[in-house]
Amino acid sequence: MSGKSSAHSVVEPTPVTKRIAGAVVIIYALISMIPLFWIFITGFKSPPDSISYPPKIVFEPTLEGYCNLFTTRTRQTPDYIQSLPPATETCDEITRSRNMVIAGASNYLPRFINSVVIAFGSTFLAVALGTLTAYGFSRFRVPLADDLLFFILSTRMMPPIAVAIPIYLMYRELGLSDTALGMILLYTAINVSLAVWLLKGFIDEIPREYEEAAMIDGYTRLQAFVKVVLPQAATGIAATAIFCLIFAWNEYAFAVLLTSGSAQTAPPFIPTIIGEGGMDWPAVAAGTTIFLIPILVFTVLLRKHLLRGITFGAVRK
Amino acid sequence: MRTLGVAAVAVLAGLATFAHSSEAKAAGELTLCWAAWDPANALVELSKDFEKQTGTTMKFEFTPWPNFTDRILNELNSGGKLCDLLIGDSQWLGGSAENGYYVKLNDFFAKEGISMDDFAPATVYAYSTWPKGTPNYWALPAMGDANAWVYRKDWFAKPEIQAAFKEKTGRDLAPPKTWDELKEVAEFFQGREIDGNTVYGAAIFTERASEGITMGATSALYSYGFKYENTPGKYDMEGAVNSPDAIAGLEKYKEIYKCCTPPGYTDSYMGEGLDAFKSGQVAMMMNWFAFWPGLYKDENVGGDKIGFFVNPGQKVNASTLGGQGISVVANTDNMEGALAYIKWFAQADVQKKWWSLGGYACHNAVLNDPAFKDSQPFAADFLTAMGGVQDFWQEPAYASLLQAMQKRLHDYVVADQGTAKEALDKLIEDWTEVFEDEGKL
Amino acid sequence: MSDSTPIQRLADQAAAKTPPRVVKRIRGLSDRAIAWAFITPTILLLLAINIFPLIWTIQLSFTNYRANRPNAEVENVGIQNYERILTDSDIWFAMQATAHFVFWTIALQTLIGFSLAYLIDRKFRGHAFWTTIILIPMMLSPAVVGNFWRFLYQPQIGLFNYIVSFFTGLPPSSFEMLGTVNLAPWSIIIVDTWMWTPYVMLICLAGLRSIPDYIYEAAEVDRASKWRQFWTITIPMAAPFIMLAVLFRGIENFKMFDMVNLLTGGGPGSTTEVASITLKREAFEKWRTGYSSAFAIILFVAVFGLANIYVKALNKVKNR
């Protein structure tokens, strides 16, 4: 421990340590990005390139994967294809070069829209309910508050398949199977626990004196909540919303068991994208890329609040 | 707490009402559910005529085979309204009939003059009737199918390969007639260099999650004389399911898996098999007749390069049954439209076009046509295979029976646990438990 | 939050002027009503979607009900379902597979995650940026990404085997991560570790940053070696955070379904058939609803116990 310059604090690591630490961390980060990088580039490979051995890193990029993702195609004889008017769009051209014609749109887009509707719908509800409940727990002495909070949290800890059994039976009775409403309700119920715990933390941090002062100025409790607490909690609400959104966006187990078509979201759909034989990997990669981009954006937006979100508000930094 | 409970029920009831009212399908629209595979694309083409004639908009929900059973049985059980028409697997008939998921078609057939005598008897038995063999029809035979094989005709024809085979085995290289020969041929090709590539013997079914390995292994088991029961209808499986013949058949299937499949084919079904064959990796491939029209058209391995053969016999000539009938889902909002589709589909002309587009029609007008055998290089094989098909249990509890077999077979064949005898013994235990739960034993 | 927004200033002034008694009186007005009005909707929703179904599951677990037989008669079978589960060797095998998965994922993630956090806490240049990069995998959908790993693990065309062969010289098609009994359990452990190490890392990082500098300074004064400081200060002070991460990962992986379902589907044979996959097969493929309800209740109880410990740990961390 000698040779430390007095300019440094005793706990400040030496430049060499820093450099080594940095190098190791960067190497890990790069390695952990390989699968994502591979997904991204596979989306631009042609099907033969995607399954070539050894795996190709240099290849001629094509939009075939994206075309295949959004269309269904049928195989035709070359004579038939010759007889068609010339292709006008890129996808037509690519498809025909494989002796196929586009038969129609695939189900990817409707499934993606389902994902958007269900994720945003449930997030809105969960955050709205969660804000009210968190405020209630934060500001009032609720009987059995700790037990209720534990109960709320524990609902998120249950294995989804176990929860899905009775939900399946219940939705069958109520006609909610394979409906967007059913999925929104379910995701709301699961997300509301996270929302309550996170938002309670955020609201706890807003001094009560603000609302009390506003109430003395003639606001009612509700007005004070709307005009004072909500604006103060805005950042926290936004961060919570993104966490709920990510959960609903990524969820697979319930979606695969409780939806079959009309309300099916993208996660159970993407693994079933097949070509003429097995998986159409470029199309799967294209679908995956499109599906992941919103999450990447959110992760960057959220980075300051991540820790809080993943620990149910326990660790605030 | 009590008030809360009542309120919660009220909230749910309200939501349910809302859900019902918000979910009305456009009239004149039909959704047909089937597996995502070549024939389904052909059906889309075929259905364009129906759309033109009736003004109906056809929508299609095609699911890949490994997810198909799971997803559609889930949908039926949940009382969903996704499908109006369903081309469902033969084994689903028992459950779907007993639970009222399908519409019984007898009255409709009588009214419209559709006769089941116009369809091949084996297909009517397998795809339409429940209880088996009785004149109670729950579906119209839509797609005949059985498990069979393709081989690389161009490789088999190479003089140097023929010579090498003769030298190694003392007989001429030809499509195998027995499972012993099949293994011999597969072993011969395994690891051989052809046109500069290392090739493998055969692609066979090993899929774990849905039905793959069962469909593959039963192709061997049936040929070796495997039976489900000693006396049909008695569920007496001891000595039938684990007979010495059955054990020999299962062992042979494992031997072929071990010796002669491409690396990584540990969980492969139709799609993986097609990939292996189309990319020129394997000399032979087990798969369903359904794919033969598409493969024959394939620009790389089709045409002169591909040959077809029926599932080899060993003690008996038998093939594993595939294929489906088309049913009307009882829950449909468009019953009239759905029935109109079946009526249209049952016409002899439509059935002929169906075959020409690549669907295996079961109508006698197609099959009994003298020109049928020569209409495609695999047409004669198809008739032979359909003459000896055997099917898995069609019991209402079929899913439990299938899952048990999937597990026991995959444990033995792929995961190397225990012996063939032990696997089949355990299978009998599992099945006995299922039938006891059913009150049938 | 800055202290100078107009509302806050106003509020501060008002608060200073108001005698505490007045505040209490106003607050007492209709607080009870508002509290209940705010909390009740959430409780109602949870009652409807969580508690009512749970009670139903308990009831079903004592019957032989099958969801695919709406017309069949339902019999009460007492605790027979529970007996069968607890004596079923396949179920115990699934529990073992789950335990193996949970143990190794936690061990690897804690080790790698803590090491990474320790290195990041050296505060090298650009550490904030690289931390964000490292965090990305854990935000992604385990199903969608897990599905793609199936491609990476393909013995001939997959990148994983190719990279391994590049470093070890083994031919890439000589081993099958997903299809071999010995390797398949590790294939799911690798993917889970790739995805969730960042999670453990992030929490450990918070733990390391919660240790005040003066403790290390005092240790320096006492001439304690870095090694000794690490074991007597860093580890004990960060321990509650590590515990939190371990518990949470434990619970999550105990109920693991999506990634494993898509990657191996429980295969080969039943090698990677973790509890949730067995449950799914029983409940949604064999449709033994009564039986699988009993299994679900057993899993509930196990998770509930873990969750209890988790909440205690959570509060402990919170009170730091």
* Interchain CB distance below 8 Å, A17 and C122: yes
Is residue C4 scored above 50 in pLDDT? no
pLDDT interval class at B10 (50, 70, 90): low
CA distance A130 to C124: 39
Q: What are phi and psi of A129, to 5 degrees?
A: -65, -45
A108 in C contact zone (CB under 8 Å): no
Could you tell me the two tokens for C79? 């605790």
Residues B38-50: what's their mean pLDDT? Answer: 90
The pLDDT of residue B26: 55
Mean pLDDT for all residues in chain B: 90
**Which residues from chain A sit within 8 angstroms of residue C34, using beta carbons?**
136, 140, 221-222
pLDDT bin (cut points 50, 70, 90) of residue A282 is: very high
Percent of chain A exceeding pLDDT 70 equals: 96
- Beta sheet of B306-310, edge-to-edge order: B200-203, B282-288, B147-152, B306-310
**Alpha carbon A244 to chain centroid distance?**
8
Is the bond preceding C268 in cis, omega lying within 30 degrees of 0?
yes
pLDDT at A225 over 70: yes
For CA atoms B248, B254, B255, B261, give the dihedral sign: positive
Question: Could you check whether B27-145+322-390 and B147-320+397-438 share the same CATH topology?
Answer: yes
Interface of B with C (CB under 8 A): 4-5, 7-9, 11-12, 70, 73-74, 77, 95, 98-100, 208-209, 262-267, 396, 399-400, 403, 407, 410-412, 414-417, 437
Rounded Cα gap, residues B173 and B196, in angstroms: 21
Between CA C133 and CA C130 the distance in angstroms is 5
- Per-residue pLDDT reduced to its tens digit, B257-270: 999 999 888 999 99
Give the nearest chain C residue to A210 (CA atoms): C11
Category of B238 on φ-ψ map: left (φ > 0), alpha (ψ -120 to 50) or beta: beta
User: Is the pLDDT score of B329 beyond 90?
Assistant: yes
Query: Is the pLDDT score of B21 beyond 50?
Result: no
Q: What is the pLDDT of residues C99-111, one digit of tens each?
A: 999 999 999 999 9
- pLDDT at residue B11, rounded to an integer: 55
Cβ atoms of residues C178 and C153 within 8 Å: yes
Average pLDDT, chain A: 87
Name the residue facing C157 among A10, A53, A315 (closest C-beta): A53
The domain segmentation of chain A, as residue ranges, is: 109-272
- Lookup result for tokens 């960067």: A26
pTM of full prediction above 0.95: no
The per-residue b/e assignment along C294-320, b for 16 or more CB within 10 angstroms, e otherwise, is: bbbbbbbebbeebbeebbebbeebbee
- Quote the Cα angle for C123-C128-C133, to 5°: 125
Q: Does B302 touch chain A (CB under 8 A)?
A: no
C151 touches chain B (CB under 8 A): no
Q: Return the pLDDT at A147.
A: 81
Structure tokens at B158: 């190479």
For residue C203, give both structure tokens.
Answer: 């929490």
Lowest pLDDT segment from A86-90, A239-243, B129-133, C283-287: A86-90
Reduced to 3 states, what is the DSSP secondary structure of residue B358? coil
Neighbouring C-beta atoms of residue C175, cutoff 10 Å = 18
Report the DSSP beta bridge partners of residue B197.
B194
Determine the residue among A14, A32, A51, A131 to mutate to test chain C binding: the one whose Cβ has the most chain C Cβ atoms within 10 Å: A32
CA distance B409 to chain C (A): 8
Tens of pLDDT along A144-173?
888 888 777 777 778 899 889 999 999 998
Confirm or reject contact between C266 and chain B (CB < 8 A): yes
Domain spans, chain B: 27-145+322-390, 147-320+397-438
Q: What local confidence, expressed as pLDDT, does residue B14 receive?
A: 54
Give, in degrees to the nearest 5, the angle at Cα B301 between B299 and B303: 75
Burial B119-146 (b: 16+ CB within 10 A, else e): bbebbbbbbbbbeeeeeebbbbbbbbbb
Over the stretch A31-54, which tens digit does the pLDDT of each residue have? 999 999 999 999 999 988 888 777
CA angle B16, B19, B24 (to 5 degrees): 140
On whether any CB of chain C is under 8 Å from the CB of A267, the answer is: yes
Show residues of chain C in contact with B265, CB under 8 Å: 179
- CB-based contacts of C92, cutoff 8 Å, min separation 6: none
Nearest alpha carbon to residue A47 among C146, B271, B43, B285: B271
- Which of these, C109, C60, C78, lies nearest to C253 by C-alpha position? C109
Distances B1 to A154, C37, C152 between C-alpha atoms, Å: 19, 15, 52
Q: What is the structure's pLDDT at C14?
A: 47
Average pLDDT of chain C to the nearest whole number? 86
pLDDT in tens, A165-196: 999 999 998 999 899 999 999 999 999 988 99
Q: What CATH number belongs to A109-272? A: 1.10.3720.10
Q: E-strand spans in B364-427? A: 389-390
By the 8 A CB rule, do B58 and B50 touch? Answer: yes
- pLDDT digits 0-9 by tens, B126-180: 999 988 889 999 999 999 999 999 999 999 999 999 999 999 999 999 999 999 9
> What mean pLDDT do residues B393-406 have?
91
Phi, psi of B233 (to 5 degrees): 90, -5
d(CA B219, CA B250): 10
The per-residue pLDDT for range B296-310, each reduced to its tens digit, is: 988 789 889 999 999
Residues from chain C contacting residue A11 (CB–CB below 8 Å): 213, 216-217, 220
Give a three-class secondary structure readout of chain C: CCCCCHHHHHHHHHHHHCCHHHHHHHHCCCHHHHHHHHHHHHHHHHHHHHHHHHHHHHHHCCECCCCCCCCCCCCECCCHHHHHHHHCHHHHHHHHHHHHHHHHHHHHHHHHHHHHHHHHCCCCCCHHHHHHHHHHHHHCCHHHHHHHHHHHCCCCCCHHHHHHHHHHCCCHHHCCCCCCCCCHHHHHHHHHHHHHHHHHHHHHHHHHHCCCHHHHHHHHHCCCCHHHHHHHHHHHHHHHHHHHHHHHHHHHHHCCCHHHHHHCCCCCCCCCCCHHHHHHHHHHHCCCHHHHHHHHHHHHHHHHHHHHHHHHHHHHHHCC
Q: Is the pLDDT of residue A133 over 80?
A: yes
pLDDT at C3 over 90: no
CATH says C83-318 is which class?
mainly alpha
Q: Please state, in angstroms and rounded to a whole number, the distance separating the CA atoms of residues C296 and C293.
A: 5
Residues C225 and B295: their CA atoms lie apart, in Å, by: 72
Over residues B51-79, the mean pLDDT reads 91
CA-CA distance, A31 to A36, in Å (whole number)?
Answer: 10
C-alpha–C-alpha distance, residues B179 and A142, integer Å: 74
Kindly indicate the confidence band of residue C270, based on its pLDDT and cuts at 50, 70 and 90: confident
Q: Do C284 and B70 touch (CB under 8 A)?
A: yes
* Nearest chain A residue to C316, by CA: A314
Q: How far apart are CA B349 and CA B361, in angstroms?
A: 11
Which residues of A have a CB under 8 Å from any CB of B? 51, 72-75, 77, 99, 103-104, 107, 168, 170-172, 174-179, 181-182, 185, 257-258, 260-262, 272, 274, 276-279
| Position A241 confidence tier, pLDDT thresholds 50, 70, 90 | very high
Q: What is the 3-state secondary structure (H, E, C) of A234-251?
A: HHHHHHHHHHHHHHHHHC
Residue C183, CA atoms < 13 Å, CB-side half-sphere: 13
What pLDDT is stored for residue A84 in this prediction?
85
Q: Residue A13 — very low, low, confident or very high, per pLDDT cuts 50/70/90?
A: confident
pLDDT at B9: 54
CB C198 within 8 A of CB C112: no
Q: Which residues contact B393 (CB under 8 A, 6 or more apart)?
A: B91, B228, B401, B402
pLDDT for res B441:
84
Largest distance between two CA atoms of chain C:
81
Closest CA to C116 of B419, A21, A123, B167: A21
pLDDT at A281 over 80: yes
Closest to C117 measured CA to CA, from C198, C184, C178: C198
Confidence band of A5 (pLDDT split at 50, 70, 90): very low
- Return the structure tokens found at A166: 């009775």
Please tell me the CATH code under which domain B27-145+322-390 is placed. Answer: 3.40.190.10
Asked whether residue A66 carries a pLDDT value surpassing 80, the answer given is yes
Fold classification of B147-320+397-438 is D-Maltodextrin-Binding Protein; domain 2 (3.40.190)
Neighbours of chain A (3+ CB pairs under 8 A): B, C
Report the distance separating Cα B345 and Cα B348, nearest Å: 8
Find the range with the poorest average confidence among B183-192, C85-94, C208-217, C311-320: C311-320
Strand ranges for A92-243 from DSSP E: 100-105
pLDDT above 90 (res A12):
no
Q: How far apart are alpha carbons A315 and C206 in whole angstroms?
A: 7
Do B311 and B149 form a contact (C-beta atoms < 8 A)?
yes
> What DSSP string runs through B318-334?
-EEB--EEEEEBTT-S-
Tokens representing residue B355 in the block: 């075959």
- Provide, as residue numbers in chain B, all residues whose Cβ is less than 8 Å from the Cβ of C265: 208-209, 267
Per-residue pLDDT band for C171 (boundaries 50, 70, 90) equals confident
**Which residues in chain C are closer than 8 Å to A282, comparing Cβ atoms?**
none
